[in-house]
């Protein structure tokens, strides 16, 4: 067991180094560096999206497609408040509060109606909710080119001769920080323990008296806050466009699939790797056109790797 | 006598009338803008049908449909502008090539189920979106990708459908054909196999269904419909743009398929209308088309939470009730069957009997070909040899579920007992091939069963039931039993006779046409038993057949089990907690406890064994 | 269109009445000062407004001018019923819009069209239905290479060419990276001529294509940089071009490259949106006369916009172009026999006969002609973003490309050269 784990990691490191070296070969270091930084920023967003989904999925069994829509609603609110001249930090808080509220609304009022259905039905239901939120957001803010920027865009740090904005550093730092914080939380606190119990076996947890509603609400809250933050970052770094932000859940899912909807550390590493590979592919003249497909190809390969040597069987529960 | 294969149900008739109306009347009265809208709607109806049947028939969520449409459209445009081929050829070629793409998409489906499968199809949709955006559609340019950077010549529509009106008629005609393809599948072996897969893949395998094959086939059909839809859309516009085939649109199509009612033909029409007509109406009324998203979303939530049959289901209920009221008052007992839950949804179609030998034979050809290819010709060599379980080991992670179990079952009926978690069902799963072993083998009839895939064991003659009765809701009793025979190389007449005989044996012949979802648990159990008796079984295994049954029902079951060997020569293995039942029907019994064999022998002896009494019956003997 | 137009029109009308005392009011059509009341003449307009770009400026401006004409005697007393559809960058919607306007409403002509998709879908329909589209914000090849579409604007091909030509001649550019949409008849079509021009002049060029559905400008920018270019040409709508410049600012790339753009970036709000960082560093080609030139049409355009358009409607090159198309259309109709102005065939014939219309907004004369290609406007201005505005750095100049040979031949035959 332990051996194969190390083999996986060594293989991963070798593959990543090989890919980056192959793509970056013969290019000036500064160019490779720019792509690496840009890739890490995009990858952090994939990872953040994936982490928000996995945290919720582990605790509640719901894969929430509405995470992106909640983030979109949040960042659009922040933009609107900014247009009205509201103090910037207040607009950011408003963004996170809006996503939190959207997430909790679904978690408290709609999710319980589907508590005992199969995971795929629960996921499909969140699609419906995502469409409602997206429809409302698109209705309130008609299509227009907009920009959302944070004051940190103007602040740059020079790393190895490249200017890196603080926003990118925040996106990267937060994704790493969140994984660490959640790991700490799950291992150190009672609610964390209860969340792990719930992830392990719902029925049993209910029987031994774990306050499911409380724990689930907490999970919805955490994922809502992460969604709000991801939305802010996405709106700033990529694009302020509700539909695009809503469907950023698709590459996020690729990151989540890398961690088998379970392991946050792998979700983080998977997301970052996807971002970096996608960005580095720009340097390949043949592959640059199709580079956004990288997350899906990587996720498919990872799935195949997980599935190697197994066949579809049924455990005794089936 | 009229065949049910070609039987048209009242709702089917309504659907065909609707199609006829759409072909004859709509194009003549619609304005030019609405002709365009209706043509798009018709194309998407076909695409939705591809998603709907996957969801309603197999319970599989496919979120790639619009991507497959794009593939079909791409091929049509490529053939049209690159080679100048006629539209009919392009249409068929697009459909066929898209089938292959559907099959490729099915590859992950062979190893993944449920949520993971949905996620993989969603990622595939994302991949298609990017490929289309990168390589663009061949709207009349040079080179393999055929992207056009200058002006282009016109698109060759079919020569019988050059005008917009005619093209709408043409589209509706193709869409109707597409529906008939699904309907034909539903009424033949693939439909029965899909119904079993939807119910439970384990049950399907144990009924001899090659699950991989039929799942792949379903993806292929879905791809065919998507490809045809894309091809028609290309024909309607003459060019395509990547923006039409985004992953988000695939998601929307799936959502609308559920809202419209995935179980019904009309559901697909409703879904496509919501997708294309509603936004156009909102636009015409000066409202924001984004409002339609809110309607879609709310509809999806409503459908998922409270109305699984969607709009079409609710309409059918409504019209069914009305119809009942009308017929009760009016025509009396001679009225036809109520249209309630008919059409695509229920398995009211009878298995074809004597009708139209030619057409039926023709339809059987692909089935026979399929059987030839996947090989269902194994038959048991010697049914009277014992079932030999040798040294079987099963580990789940660190837990040893079966520890070197050996037993030779040679009597007509044998039992396996033991407390919960003893490994009884695991042993049965080993024999069925559902659980991978770490060692050991199972031989019967001179064949090593462990070397065969699950469905091949069923072809060989292994039958089993599960703790839960695995009767497909979508099929009636007769069809449920027939599904077990579908993969086997008997003639249709033989199969029908055997189904009838088995149903008579279990006493269900008077309820042969009763839909699965209307059966009570005892009827389901009897249907399960009948399924185990057809197709010359060698081994029949029952996992807790008396669970949840009344005393009378258990009595009946026991008598049936005792008669099985005389009926078909099969050996029977029974797991049950009901010691009285075991004592009554089993000559020999194996006792397991925590994965260990603690006793095996004549049932009376075994039950008297102190070790058994200690472990199983909870009576602690003094360790004197 | 989802803007709240009606209150704005009332507001505009009110301000017009007020304005008419202070200044000379807008000058429209027959300029009678009385509203037209006859049987309406149906005219259509199709724009594309959806992510990633809003191309409604041209139809907004055309609508403003037609409103003004209707308030001033209309066409021989008949008002113009101008109907605008949005194709939402979607081919199905584009086909529906054309079917609605051309086949169902039987419009006599289309005026002010601006889109990335509509012309490609509908060029065949227009030819079949024998209707002319006097477009104003064309962006794709079909718009300039088909028989029944003529556009007042140049489209990206000449405008890119003009920008690259200027950069090569004046700013020392040797290698131009053209960032455009991956829409074959837009991005590749219009970037390729720039590469050809640079190669013909001993330099080099490349194109970086963005997915219009999910444009990731930062990657495209980095891609452009990795080719070794010294000049970045942003062949994109204004919003995305600004996004490219913002991304460059974040990475402090300003001083290593020359930054040029075709006409979409010529919008008075752009210098403020870019900020101090870019002052004097961005060069923009303008297809029509810059606003400060102040000829009679330039003044009248602003007057019409102020009086009849919403204050939110953009005042950019595409608005000028929409206005200009509308004035040419009205001029053509007014010159026709009053009995024929409702007859599509006659109107099409009259439009095809346009030759030698001039305006201070355009460098050269406007003409149509009965050809399979139309690009009357292929000369422009070069501007520099400076001190919150635009400075003219080169006046009307012709662009150097073999692409224009057939056009020049037609102009010669019409006696316009």
| pLDDT for res C3 | 40
pLDDT in tens, B164-205: 889 999 999 999 999 988 888 888 888 888 888 888 888 888
B370 is a domain residue: no
Query: Strands B588-593, B571-575: parallel, antiparallel or unpaired by DSSP?
Result: unpaired
Instruction: State which residues form the domain around B75.
Output: 43-143+156-313
Q: Does C95 touch chain B (CB under 8 A)?
A: yes
> Do residues C46 and C110 touch, judged by C-beta distance below 8 A?
yes
Give the Cα separation of B141 and B147 in Å (integer): 5
Instruction: Report, as an integer, the average pLDDT of A178-204.
Output: 82
> Do residues A314 and B429 touch, judged by C-beta distance below 8 A?
yes
pLDDT in tens, C37-62: 889 999 999 998 877 778 889 999 99
Give the Cα separation of A27 and A37 in Å (integer): 15
Question: Which of C117, C123, C372 lies at the smallest CB-CB distance from B241?
Answer: C117
- Domains of chain A, earliest start first: 27-305 (1.10.3470)
How many angstroms separate the Cα of A6 from the Cα of each of A9, A12, A212, A270? Answer: 5, 10, 36, 16
B434 is a domain residue: yes
A26 has a pLDDT exceeding 70: yes
Does the bond joining C52 to the residue before it have cis omega, within 30 degrees of 0? yes
| pLDDT for res B339 | 35
Interchain pair C51, A163: CB under 8 A: no
Same domain? For B268 and B394 the reply is no
Interchain pair A138, B435: CB under 8 A: no
Give the Cα separation of C116 and C132 in Å (integer): 18
**Domains identified in chain B, total number:** 2
pLDDT in tens, B265-286: 888 998 999 998 998 888 888 7
Q: Does C96 touch chain B (CB under 8 A)?
A: yes
Instruction: Report, as an integer, the average pLDDT of A77-97.
Output: 92
B619 has a pLDDT exceeding 90: no
| pLDDT for res B373 | 57
| pLDDT for res B495 | 86
Give the Cα separation of C416 and C367 in Å (integer): 9
- Domains of chain C, earliest start first: 5-155+293-377 (3.40.50.2300), 156-286+380-413 (3.40.50.2300)
Polymer length of chain B: 624
Considering just the CA atoms, what is the radius of gyration of chain A in Å? 20
Chain B CB contacts of C91 under 8 Å are 237, 239-241, 243-244
Q: Cα B510–B511–B517 angle (5° rounding)?
A: 175
Comparing alpha-carbon positions, the chain A residue that sits nearest to C246 is A153
| pLDDT for res B365 | 63
Interchain pair B236, C100: CB under 8 A: no
| pLDDT for res B204 | 87
B269 is a domain residue: yes
How many angstroms separate the Cα of C270 from the Cα of each of A144, B100, C279, C298? Answer: 15, 50, 11, 19
Q: What are phi and psi of A162, to 5 degrees?
A: -110, 145
Interchain pair B32, C123: CB under 8 A: no
B412 to chain A, closest Cα gap in Å: 27
Same domain? For B442 and B586 the reply is yes
Query: Closest Cα to residue C355, out of C398, C413, C300?
Result: C413
More confident position, C13 or B433:
B433
Burial B145-174 (b: 16+ CB within 10 A, else e): ebbbbebbeebbbeeebeebbebbbbbbeb
Interchain pair A253, B122: CB under 8 A: yes
Interchain pair B118, A133: CB under 8 A: no
| pLDDT for res A91 | 92
Share of chain B above pLDDT 90, in %: 20
Question: Which of B32, B139, B149 lies at the smallest CB-CB distance from C103?
Answer: B32
ipTM of this predicted structure: 0.89
Chain C CB contacts of B150 under 8 Å are 141, 145, 185, 189
Give the Cα separation of A195 and A100 in Å (integer): 19
C104 has a pLDDT exceeding 70: yes
pLDDT in tens, C388-404: 889 999 998 988 888 88
Instruction: Report, as an integer, the average pLDDT of C292-298.
Output: 84
How many angstroms separate the Cα of C339 from the Cα of each of A46, C39, C344? Answer: 64, 12, 12
At B350, is the pLDDT very low, low, confident or very high (cuts 50, 70, 90)?
very low
Interchain pair A129, B297: CB under 8 A: yes
Last residue of a domain, one of B292, B313, B334: B313
Same domain? For B199 and B65 the reply is yes
Comparing alpha-carbon positions, the chain A residue that sits nearest to C227 is A283
Same domain? For B113 and B198 the reply is yes
Q: Which of A212-226, B476-490, C14-28, C212-226 bottoms out in mean pLDDT, i.e. has the lowest?
A: C14-28
Comparing alpha-carbon positions, the chain A residue that sits nearest to C3 is A142
Same domain? For B303 and B410 the reply is no
B38 is a domain residue: no
Give the Cα separation of C191 and B285 in Å (integer): 40
A43 to chain B, closest Cα gap in Å: 17
More confident position, B615 or A273:
A273
Instruction: Report, as an integer, the average pLDDT of B527-555.
Output: 89
Question: Which of A135, A246, A297 lies at the smallest CB-CB distance from B291?
Answer: A135
Give the Cα separation of B486 and B459 in Å (integer): 10
pLDDT in tens, B65-97: 999 999 999 999 999 888 888 999 999 999 999
Residue reference for tokens 């049936």: B560
How many Cβ atoms sit within 10 Å of the Cβ of residue A71?
37
| pLDDT for res A46 | 92
Interchain pair C250, A241: CB under 8 A: no
Beta-bridge mates of residue C234: C179
Handedness of CA C213, C216, C217, C219 (dihedral sign): negative
Instruction: Report, as an integer, the average pLDDT of C126-138.
Output: 92
Interchain pair B118, A132: CB under 8 A: no
More confident position, C364 or A205:
C364
Distance between alpha carbon B139 and the CA centroid of its chain, in Å?
A: 38
Q: What is the dihedral of CA C406, C409, C413, C417, to 10 degrees?
A: 130
Interchain pair A282, C223: CB under 8 A: yes
B329 is a domain residue: no
C144 to chain B, closest Cα gap in Å: 9
How many Cβ atoms sit within 10 Å of the Cβ of residue B312?
26
Name residues whose C-beta falls within 8 Å of residue C414's C-beta, 6 or more positions apart in sequence: C355, C356, C367, C369
Same domain? For B272 and B400 the reply is no
Query: Closest Cα to residue C111, out of C66, C154, C73, C158?
Result: C66
B307 is a domain residue: yes
Interchain pair B254, A243: CB under 8 A: no
How many Cβ atoms sit within 10 Å of the Cβ of residue A247?
25
Last residue of a domain, one of B279, B294, B313: B313
B623 has a pLDDT exceeding 90: no
Chain B interface mutation, best of A127, A247, A253, highest count of B Cβ atoms under 10 Å? A127
| pLDDT for res B367 | 60
Interchain pair C90, B36: CB under 8 A: no
| HSE of B598, CA atoms in CB hemisphere, 13 A | 22
Give the Cα separation of B139 and C119 in Å (integer): 13
Same domain? For B263 and B396 the reply is no
| pLDDT for res B17 | 82
Instruction: Report, as an integer, the average pLDDT of A260-282.
Output: 89
Same domain? For B280 and B409 the reply is no
Share of chain A above pLDDT 90, in %: 32
Share of chain C above pLDDT 70, in %: 94
Q: Assign residue B474 the CATH number of its domain.
A: 3.40.50.300
| pLDDT for res B355 | 39
Instruction: Report, as an integer, the average pLDDT of B32-48.
Output: 92
Last residue of a domain, one of B313, B339, B362: B313
B149 has a pLDDT exceeding 70: no
Comparing alpha-carbon positions, the chain B residue that sits nearest to A306 is B111
C353 has a pLDDT exceeding 80: yes
Same domain? For B407 and B306 the reply is no
pLDDT in tens, B452-479: 888 888 888 889 888 888 888 888 898 8
Give the Cα separation of B598 and A255 in Å (integer): 49
B622 has a pLDDT exceeding 80: no
Same domain? For B82 and B219 the reply is yes
At B306, is the pLDDT very low, low, confident or very high (cuts 50, 70, 90)?
confident
Q: Which of A148-152, B478-482, C79-83, C117-121 bottoms out in mean pLDDT, i.e. has the lowest?
A: A148-152
B149 is a domain residue: no
Question: Which of B111, B127, B401 lies at the smallest CB-CB distance from A312?
Answer: B111
More confident position, B585 or B330:
B585
Average pLDDT, chain C: 87
At B387, is the pLDDT very low, low, confident or very high (cuts 50, 70, 90)?
confident
Q: What number of C-beta contacts closer than 8 Å exist between A and C? A: 70
Q: Does B286 touch chain C (CB under 8 A)?
A: no
| pLDDT for res C12 | 42
B313 has a pLDDT exceeding 70: yes
């Amino acid at each position: 067991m332990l051996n194969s784990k190390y083999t996986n990691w060594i293989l991963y490191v070798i593959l990543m180094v090989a890919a980056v070296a192959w793509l970056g070969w013969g290019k000036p270091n500064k160019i490779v560096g720019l792509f690496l930084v840009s890739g890490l920023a995009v990858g952090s967003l994939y990872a953040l999206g994936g982490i928000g989904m996995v945290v919720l999925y582990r605790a509640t069994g719901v894969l929430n497609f509405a995470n992106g829509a909640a983030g979109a609603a949040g960042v659009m609110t922040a933009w609107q408040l900014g247009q009205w001249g509201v103090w910037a930090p207040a607009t950011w808080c408003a963004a996170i509060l809006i996503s939190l509220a959207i997430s909790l609304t679904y978690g408290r009022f709609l999710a319980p109606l589907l508590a005992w259905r199969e995971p795929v039905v629960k996921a499909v239901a969140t699609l419906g909710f995502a469409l409602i939120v997206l429809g409302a957001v698109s209705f309130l803010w008609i299509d227009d080119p907009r920009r959302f920027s944070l004051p940190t865009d103007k602040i740059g740090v020079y790393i190895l001769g490249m200017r890196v904005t603080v926003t990118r550093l925040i996106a990267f730092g937060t994704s790493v920080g969140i994984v660490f914080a959640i790991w700490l939380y799950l291992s150190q606190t009672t609610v964390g323990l209860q969340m792990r119990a719930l992830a392990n076996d719902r029925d049993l947890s209910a029987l031994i008296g774990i306050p499911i509603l409380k724990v689930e609400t907490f999970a919805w809250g955490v994922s809502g806050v992460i969604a709000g933050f991801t939305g802010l970052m996405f709106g700033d770094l990529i694009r302020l466009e509700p539909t695009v932000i809503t469907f950023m859940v698709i590459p996020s899912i690729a990151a989540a699939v890398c961690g088998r909807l379970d392991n946050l550390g792998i979700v983080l590493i998977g997301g970052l790797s996807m971002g970096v590979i996608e960005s580095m592919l720009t340097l390949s003249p043949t592959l640059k056109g199709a580079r956004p497909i990288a997350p899906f190809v990587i996720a498919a390969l990872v799935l195949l790797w997980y599935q190697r040597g197994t066949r579809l069987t049924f455990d005794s529960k089936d | 006598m009229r065949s049910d294969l070609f039987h048209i149900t009242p709702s089917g008739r309504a659907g065909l009338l609707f199609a006829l109306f759409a072909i004859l009347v709509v194009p003549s009265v619609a304005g030019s803008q609405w002709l365009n809208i209706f043509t798009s709607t018709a194309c998407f109806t076909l695409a939705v049908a591809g998603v709907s049947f996957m969801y309603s028939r197999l319970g599989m969520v496919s979120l790639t449909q619009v991507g497959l449409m794009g593939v079909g459209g791409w091929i049509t445009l490529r053939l049209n502008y690159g080679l100048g081929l006629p539209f009919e050829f392009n249409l068929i070629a697009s459909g066929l090539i898209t089938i292959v793409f559907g099959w490729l998409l099915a590859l992950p489906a062979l190893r993944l189920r449920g949520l993971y499968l949905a996620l993989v199809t969603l990622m595939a949709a994302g991949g298609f979106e990017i490929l289309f955006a990168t390589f663009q559609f061949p709207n009349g340019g040079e080179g393999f990708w055929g992207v056009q950077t200058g002006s282009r010549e016109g698109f060759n529509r079919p020569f019988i459908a050059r005008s917009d009106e005619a093209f709408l008629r043409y589209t509706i005609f193709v869409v109707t054909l597409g529906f008939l393809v699904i309907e034909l599948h539903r009424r033949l072996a693939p439909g029965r196999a899909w119904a079993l897969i939807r119910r439970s893949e384990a049950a399907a395998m144990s009924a001899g269904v090659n699950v991989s094959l039929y799942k792949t086939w379903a993806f292929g059909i879905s791809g065919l419909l998507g490809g045809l839809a894309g091809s028609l859309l290309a024909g309607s516009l003459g060019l395509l743009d990547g923006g039409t085939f985004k992953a988000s649109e695939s998601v929307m199509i799936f959502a609308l398929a559920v809202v419209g009612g995935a179980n019904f033909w009309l559901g697909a029409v409703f879904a496509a209308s919501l997708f294309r007509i509603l936004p156009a109406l909102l636009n015409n009324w000066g409202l924001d088309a984004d409002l339609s998203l809110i309607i879609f979303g709310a509809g999806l939530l409503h459908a998922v939470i409270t109305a699984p049959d969607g709009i079409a289901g609710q309409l059918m209920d409504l019209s069914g009730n009305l119809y009942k009221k009308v017929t009760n008052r009016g025509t009396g007992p001679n009225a036809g069957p109520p249209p309630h839950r008919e059409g695509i949804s229920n398995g009211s179609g009878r298995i074809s009997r004597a009708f139209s030998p030619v057409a039926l034979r023709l339809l059987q050809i692909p089935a026979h070909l399929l059987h030839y290819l996947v090989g269902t010709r194994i038959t048991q060599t010697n049914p009277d040899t014992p079932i030999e379980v040798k040294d079987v080991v099963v580990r789940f992670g660190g837990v040893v579920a079966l520890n070197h179990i050996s037993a030779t079952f040679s009597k007509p009926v044998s039992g396996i007992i033991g407390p919960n978690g003893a490994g009884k069902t695991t042993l049965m799963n080993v024999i069925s091939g559902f659980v991978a072993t770490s060692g050991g083998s199972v031989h019967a009839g001179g064949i090593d069963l462990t070397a065969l895939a699950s469905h091949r064991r069923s072809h060989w003659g292994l039958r089993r039931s599960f703790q839960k009765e695995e009767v497909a809701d979508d099929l009636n009793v007769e069809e449920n039993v027939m599904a077990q025979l579908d993969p086997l190389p008997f003639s249709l007449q033989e199969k029908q006779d055997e189904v009838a005989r088995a149903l008579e044996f279990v006493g269900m012949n008077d309820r042969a046409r009763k839909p699965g979802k209307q059966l009570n648990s005892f009827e389901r159990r009897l249907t399960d038993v009948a399924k185990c008796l057809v197709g010359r079984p060698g081994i029949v295994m029952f996992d807790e057949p008396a669970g949840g049954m009344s005393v009378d029902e258990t009595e009946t079951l026991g008598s049936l089990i005792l008669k099985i060997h005389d009926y078909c020569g099969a050996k029977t293995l029974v797991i049950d907690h009901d010691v009285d039942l075991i004592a009554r029907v089993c000559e020999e019994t194996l006792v397991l406890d925590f994965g260990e064999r603690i006793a095996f022998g004549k049932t009376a002896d075994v039950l008297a064994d102190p070790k058994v009494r200690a472990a199983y019956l909870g009576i602690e003997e003094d360790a004197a | 269109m989802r803007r709240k137009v009606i209150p704005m029109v009332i507001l505009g009308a009110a301000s017009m009445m007020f304005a008419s005392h202070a200044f000379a009011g807008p000058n429209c059509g027959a300029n009678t000062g009385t509203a037209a009341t006859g049987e309406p003449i149906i005219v259509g307009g199709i724009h594309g407004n959806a992510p990633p770009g809003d191309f409604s400026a041209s139809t907004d401006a055309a609508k403003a001018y037609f409103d003004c004409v209707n308030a001033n005697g209309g066409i021989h007393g008949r008002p113009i019923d101008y109907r605008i559809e949005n194709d939402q960058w979607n081919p199905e919607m584009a086909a529906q819009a054309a079917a609605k306007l051309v086949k169902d409403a039987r419009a006599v002509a289309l005026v002010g069209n601006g889109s990335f998709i509509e012309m490609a879908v509908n060029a065949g329909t227009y030819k079949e239905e024998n209707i002319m589209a006097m477009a104003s914000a064309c962006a794709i090849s079909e718009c300039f290479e088909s028989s029944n579409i003529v556009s007042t604007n140049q489209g990206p091909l000449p405008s890119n060419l003009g920008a690259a030509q200027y950069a090569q001649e004046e700013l020392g550019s040797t290698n131009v990276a053209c960032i455009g949409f991956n829409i074959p008849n837009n991005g590749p079509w219009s970037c390729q001529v720039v590469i050809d021009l640079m190669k013909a002049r001993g330099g080099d060029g490349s194109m970086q294509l963005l997915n219009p559905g999910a444009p990731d400008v930062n990657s495209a920018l980095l891609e452009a940089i990795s080719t070794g270019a010294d000049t970045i040409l942003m062949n994109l709508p204004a919003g995305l071009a600004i996004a490219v410049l913002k991304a460059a600012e974040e990475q402090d790339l300003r001083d290593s490259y020359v930054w040029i753009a075709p006409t979409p970036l010529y919008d008075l709000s752009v210098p403020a949106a870019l900020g101090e960082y870019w002052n004097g560093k961005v060069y923009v080609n303008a297809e029509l006369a810059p606003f400060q030139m102040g000829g009679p049409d330039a003044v009248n355009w602003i007057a019409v916009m102020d009086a009849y358009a919403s204050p939110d409607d953009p005042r950019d090159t595409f608005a000028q172009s929409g206005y200009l198309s509308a004035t040419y259309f009205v001029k053509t109709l007014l010159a026709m026999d009053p009995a024929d102005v409702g007859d599509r065939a006659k109107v099409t014939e009259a439009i095809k006969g346009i030759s030698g219309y001039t305006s201070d907004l355009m460098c050269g004369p406007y003409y149509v002609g009965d050809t399979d290609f139309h690009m009357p406007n292929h000369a422009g201005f070069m501007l520099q973003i400076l001190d919150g505005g635009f400075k003219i750095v080169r006046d009307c100049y012709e662009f150097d490309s073999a692409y224009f040979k057939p056009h020049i031949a037609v102009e010669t035959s019409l006696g316009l050269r």
